[in-house]
Amino acid sequence: MNRRDFIKAGAGAATLLALGPRADAVMRTAGRKATPRKVLILGFDGMDPKMTARWMSEGKLPAFKRLAAQGGFSPLGTSIPPQSPVAWSNFIAGTNPGGHGIFDFIHRDPKTYFPTFSASATEGSTKTIRLGNIVFPIKSGSVRNLRQGKAFWQVLEEHDVPATVFKIPANYPPVDSRQRTFSGMGTPDIVGTYGTLNYYTTESKLVNEDIGGATVHQVYVIGNRVDAKLPGPINSFKPDRPAAEIDFKIYLDPSNAVARISIQGQDFLLREKEWSGWKRVSFPLIPTQSVGGICMFYLKEIHPEVKLYVSPINVDPARPALPVSTPTSYGEDLEKKFGPFFTKGLPADTSALENDILNEEEFLQQDGFVLEESRTMLDYELGRFEAGLLFYYISSTDQRQHMFWRLFDEKHPAYDPALAKAFGGTIESTYRQADEILDRALGRIDKDTIVLVMSDHGFNPYYRSFNLNTWLRANGYLKLQNEFKEEDLDWAFAGTNWMKTRAYGVGLNGLYINEKGRESEGIVTTGPDKDNLVREIARKLEEFRDPKTGEKVLARAYVAKDVYTGAYVSSAPDIILGFNRGYRISFKSPLGRVPKDILEDNKAKWSGDHMGAAEIMPGIVLANRPVAAERPALYDVTATIMDVFDIEKPKEMIGSSLFKKGEPG
Amino acid sequence: MATFNAVIGSLFGLAVLPFRAMNPWLAMIVISVLTGLLMLAVFRWTSNQEGIHRAKEAIKAHLLELRLYKDSMAQQMRSQGRILAANGRYILHALRPMLVMIVPVMLILIQLNLWFGSRPLAPGETAILKVKLAAGRSPLASDISVDAPAGIIVETLPLRIEEEREIDWRLRAAAPGVYDLTLKAGSDSFTKSVRVGGSLLAPISNVRPGPSFLDQVFNPGEKPLPRALAVESVEVDHPERRLPLLGLRLHWLIAYFALSIVFGFALKGVFKVEI
């Protein structure tokens, strides 16, 4: 199995889901019961307390400053590790990862050592019948949200407090609820991946498979026309499960910079460097079944080379092939109001920028659509926010820091002075845009509404990449079948000798002991042997220094049972890496590769990150009421919600209110 | 053909006139009632009413036989055969009115498509202007250009598609109004109508046809283009109009057939028509 198979495995049964009954088809939104208080929470992914404080003090974030003066501003303790799905799950469930079971973007199957998505699992139909060349599902497939514990809006629902939760990460598929919720980060495209773009070009072009998310199609111009195919989801009705495809044509003018794209009866003209807006497509599976989606076309170049970008195909909110909202009518209603909109978890196409398919300006144009759409929909939700809680999520703050840190920080190995001149201010301008959003929101709420602004983690530069599995090999904990091989770039530990391997790394921060009885080929005995090994590796990791800079690579190597509590601690990695400032796991190590060097310069455009130790990576919290908590953490915000609505905190929730007892309002 | 189209168009316009400012369903209901009555009348006067009646009675009788003689396989088979034969006679009797009606119904459908098939462009919306040249003409050798009135913006340079003998431009609607785009080809010029905004129910012509008879029949909204222009058609695809009903968006054809059938059956007793 290769990397592409892994990605497809994430939601490979998408086509089957489209055919299953919609359990909530008749479900309606929970009642909009009046509440004595309202709570508005704006979640800006990745907003960093240091940068926020700096730009607040320089007067560049006046709304943030105003809010801080009204109530308070504080760093917000993040999760271990500070990855978005983990951190937002801390907030959703009001607990630490031991209580909700999401420890990383990527977990592993101990029976196969195979990396798996942590947040959701998709299963195809288990019962099928084959008639001729068609396989019919007898039972539809399913997709499950793997986050454990009750979400705060489910608790609110039990107490008749209405809530709208828009695009909160780690809520795909949205958990059962009659509250209005729309899934966020973790929502796949209709192919079943976290986003696979299609790029059609007459020039030869390779993509970085480690970054992935892109399919390049070599095309040819014959008679000023290009014939191409748009690949869609796997067609589970066919025995060999090919990808469904749509034929389309690009007609080029011989000299003018204009082209017509003809796809499924839709014709549209694009000039060079122009976006199409959303287009609906429908992938036929069998004569009576199809899967619909929405995508955008961008005509990057017509002459001399043809370059056409097609965005990942998002789930169509009007006819969702996958569950993206509760009730289903919520997404459909939004579509009726606004037309098609981004539904893929993280809509900005970082893969396109990383692979030089979109340049910085084009990436920002696309993310500008995302931000504009977010602003418009927030205005709409604020307009009908009459009771309970409204949570609203903005992704651009995170995505742009990931991609533009290199142009903001001269020390970064990928710093480019020419690009920095044009785009060095992107992060600051994004914070200013966040400020504008906050300002508009503050202008729309009444004085009794409690406003909380939060982020899940902060941001750091990503200068150097750490190959954990290479370090484990160098220290004798991981062995390859061929000991003389310099490196093993096969995927998913293909060349690993498990009979001699004591520890391995999977995911962005996870290290696992090859434990007897847990891993299929485990060799380390549970008990003191394992405990001693964990402590030994953690100590060595914390001592390890970068030979190039002399700095520690890890600020902390957390032992899971020291830092997690709750019912799911046993599923956690044994050690969680907390990187030092400037360091992050490489792109190769998380999926089980063992490259040659332990450390490498990061010359990728993905140049800012947040895989550091929780202590150096806090997020932010601001409120329009005094924040009494001294060192608030994500799960304290959840406890605050319970406090404001006078709801007794469920016993699984571990936080405490940010506000002084008895003074939430 | 142009004169015929103009007359039919005026008659249709007259029927719709009182309802243009109202919900389009009203006009659709009125037209369905009127055409339902017309179809009933045609059916009444052109069909063999007695024959139809006899055929239906025969079918009923043989259906009864099926129920009464369940234990006799031979009788069952005979009854089935007689039902089939009676059905055949029924269809034969209905054939003549259907043949008589096919032309007027086709004309009604073409007119309905003109009124209900498309909606005006909304300000900000785009559409493609397509000029299809006559056979043997190359768009690369053509000098056709577009003059847009204020209210319509031509956003692109011409896209010339040799294999389709077509020249395309992208238009953007800027302000409400009914506009004529002027297309110039050498010393000749011709126009194409575009409708932007407005709440009145109005005929919307997507295609201005060339001199071909059939094209004129199916595109009655504008005068045909002169043969000398060597242009087969000019097209601006206005967005499709749908009729809203309880959260559904119905195609006019479904609405029309459903309504005219309902009215036809509701009124057949009144006018004593055997269907």
Whether residue A227 lies within 8 A of chain B, CB to CB, comes out as no
Structure token digits, residue A528: 């003191």
Q: For residues B117 and B224, is the Cβ–Cβ distance under 8 A?
A: no
State residue B53's pLDDT score. Answer: 92
Are the beta carbons of B157 and A258 separated by less than 8 Å?
yes
Q: Is the dihedral of CA A373, A379, A381, A384 positive or negative?
A: negative
Q: What angle do CA A375, A77, A57 make, to 5 degrees?
A: 60
- Residue B40 Cα to chain centre, angstroms: 20
% residues pLDDT > 90 (chain B): 64
Going by C-alpha positions, the residue among A395, A417, A415 that lies closest to residue A405 is: A415
CA distance A637 to A659: 10
| Contact criterion met (CB < 8 Å) for A253 and B163 | no
A251 and chain B in contact, CB less than 8 A: yes
| Spatial separation of the C-alpha atoms in residues B214 and B202, rounded to whole Å | 23
Weakly modelled stretches of chain A, pLDDT under 50: 1-28
Chain B residues closer than 8 Å to A257 by CB: 157
Residues sharing a CB contact under 8 Å with residue B123, sequence separation 6 or more, in sequence order: B173, B174, B175, B176, B196, B197
- Pick from A225, A254, A271: which is nearest to B160 by CB? A254
Put simply, whether A271 touches B (Cβ < 8 Å) is yes
What is the spatial distance between Cα B120 and Cα A150, in angstroms, rounded to a whole number?
A: 49
CB-CB: which of B140, B159, B237 is closest to A259?
B159
**φ, ψ for residue A351 (rounded to 5)?**
-65, -35
Q: What is the pLDDT of residue A204?
A: 83
Tell me which residue in B160, B162, B168 faces A269 most closely, judged by beta carbons: B168
Token pair, residue A436, equals: 């504008």
Task: Give the per-residue pLDDT at A662.
Answer: 67
pLDDT score, position A372: 96
Per residue in B108-163, pLDDT (tens digit) is: 999 999 999 999 999 999 999 999 999 999 999 999 999 999 999 999 999 999 99
Calculate the dihedral angle through the C-alpha atoms of A484, A488, A494, A498, rounding to the nearest 10 degrees: 50
**How near does any CA of chain A get to the CA of B130, in Å?**
11
**ipTM here:** 0.84
Q: Which residues of B touch A259 (CB under 8 A)?
A: 159
* pLDDT for res A483: 87
Helices (H), chain B: 2-16, 24-46, 49-68, 73-116, 213-218, 252-268
Q: Is A278 on the interface with B (CB under 8 A)?
A: no
pLDDT of residue A7: 43
Minimal CA–CA distance to A315: which of A338, A288, A348, A282?
A282
Instruction: Give the single-character DSSP code of B200.
Output: S
Distance CA A352, CA A360 (A): 10
pLDDT in the model for residue A44:
98
Size of interface A-B (CB pairs under 8 A): 50
Which tokens go with A401? 């820091």
Picking from B140, B155, B168, the nearest residue to A260 by CB comes out as B168
Q: How far apart are the first and last CA of chain A?
A: 56
Contacts of B170 in chain A (CB under 8 A): 258, 268-269
pTM of the full structure: 0.89
Q: Which DSSP letter does residue A100 get?
A: H
pLDDT score for A207:
65
Using a CB–CB cutoff of 8 Å, tell me whether A280 touches chain B: no
Rounded to a whole number, what is the distance in Å from the CA of B117 to chain A's nearest CA?
A: 16
Residue A634 has what pLDDT? Answer: 98
Q: Which residue of A has its CA nearest to B239?
A: A266
Q: Do A251 and B159 touch (CB under 8 A)?
A: yes
Q: Which of A105, A15, A10, A4 is nearest to A315 (CA)?
A: A15
Is A224 an interface residue toward B (CB < 8 Å)? yes
The two tokens of residue A256 are 């003018």
Predicted local distance difference test score (pLDDT) of residue B3: 84
The answer to whether B168 faces chain A, any CB pair under 8 Å, is: yes
**Nearest-angstrom CA–CA distance, A382 and A390:** 8
What is the number of residues in chain A? Answer: 665
Inter-residue contact A10 to A17 (CB < 8 Å)? no
Question: Do residue A251 and residue B158 have CB atoms under 8 angstroms apart?
Answer: no
According to the 3-state scheme, what is the secondary structure of A519-546?
ECCCCECCCHHHHHHHHHHHHHHHHCEC
Report domain extents, chain B.
Answer: 2-117+248-268, 126-236
- Candidates B130, B145, B161, B170, partner chain A, best to mutate (most A CBs within 10 A): B161
Contact present, A544 and A553 (Cβ < 8 Å): yes
A224–B155 CB contact, under 8 Å = no
CB of A265 within 8 Å of a chain B CB? The answer is no
Any A CB within 8 A of B125 CB: no
A399-417: b or e for each residue (b if 16 or more CB lie within 10 Å)?
A: bbbbbbbbbbbeebebbee
Mutate to test the interface with B, among A260, A274, A276, A279 (most CBs of B within 10 A): A260
Q: Whole-angstrom Cα distance, residue A398 to residue A608? A: 9
The two structure tokens encoding residue A418: 């020419």
* Contact list, B156 vs chain A (CB under 8 Å): 256, 258, 269, 271
Distances (CA, A) of A444 to A363, B111, B222: 31, 49, 50
Q: Nearest CA of chain B to the CA of A382: how many Å? A: 25
* b (16+ CB within 10 A) / e for B161-184: bbebbbbbbbbbbbebbebebebe
Of A335, A326, A251, A261, which is closest to residue A293 (Cα–Cα)? Answer: A335
pLDDT in tens, B2-48: 788 888 888 888 888 888 888 889 999 998 998 889 889 988 889 88
pLDDT of residue A31: 57
Interface check B126 vs A, CB under 8 A: yes
Domains of chain A: 32-102+147-187+345-460+616-644 (3.40.720.10), 197-314 (no CATH), 468-597 (no CATH)
Which residues lie closer than 8 Å to A51 by C-beta, 6 or more apart? A427, A431, A459
Contacts of B168 (CB under 8 A, 6+ apart): A260, A267, A269, B128, B129, B130, B131, B156, B158, B159, B161
Contact criterion met (CB < 8 Å) for A256 and B159: yes
Return all residues near B122 (Cβ < 8 A) that are at least 6 apart: B173, B196, B197, B239
Q: CB of A126 within 8 Å of any CB in chain B? A: no
Tokens of residue A130, six digits: 């084959």
Which of A59, A104, A54, A61 minimizes the C-alpha distance to A509?
A104
Contact yes or no for A151/A177 (Cβ under 8 A): yes
How many helices (H) and strands (E) chain B has is answered by: 6, 11
For A47, the token pair is 């907003």
Residues A383-403 have pLDDT tens digits of: 999 999 999 999 999 999 999
Nearest by CB to A223, which of B155, B160, B163?
B163
